[in-house]
Amino acid sequence: MPKIKVRPHGELCPEGKEIEAAAGVSLCDALLRSGIDIEHACEKSCACTTCHVVVRKGFDNLNEATEDEEDLLDRAWGLEPESRLSCQVMLADEDLDIEIPLYTINHAKEDH
């Protein structure tokens, strides 16, 4: 089972956290099931950027991003070369180290 190190995030995970999740589960689902309430305004359908994460370790072992995901990522706040939408990352057997950006672009959320 892969381990996911989540770096500290002021609101969602102030102390940081290390979780385990089964291979084949999306990173977004793994975070949500572990009590890390990452935004997912489009209900994980690859239609927004609110579940954007930066993969600090393990990026090269992930499934490839689709063209739709890459197009959406171009609009994400704080885009980096190792950015992914957590709803599109399917966990394999490799460990990950991720960072959740401080901000998201969510026009439906009042306090963004």
Give the confidence band of 101 by pLDDT, cuts at 50, 70, 90.
very high
- What is the reported pTM? 0.91
The SS3 call for residue 33 is: helix
Domain ranges of the chain: 3-99
Phi and psi at residue 63, in whole multiples of 5°?
A: -60, 150
Phi and psi at residue 33, in whole multiples of 5°?
A: -65, -20
- At 55, list the tokens: 């993969």
Give tens-digit pLDDT for 68-97.
999 999 999 899 999 999 999 999 999 999
pLDDT at 103: 82
pLDDT at 112: 40
Class of domain 3-99: alpha beta
- Could you tell me the end-to-end alpha-carbon distance of the chain, in angstroms, rounded to an integer? 34
Kind of pairing between the strands at 3-6 and 96-99: parallel
pLDDT at 100: 96
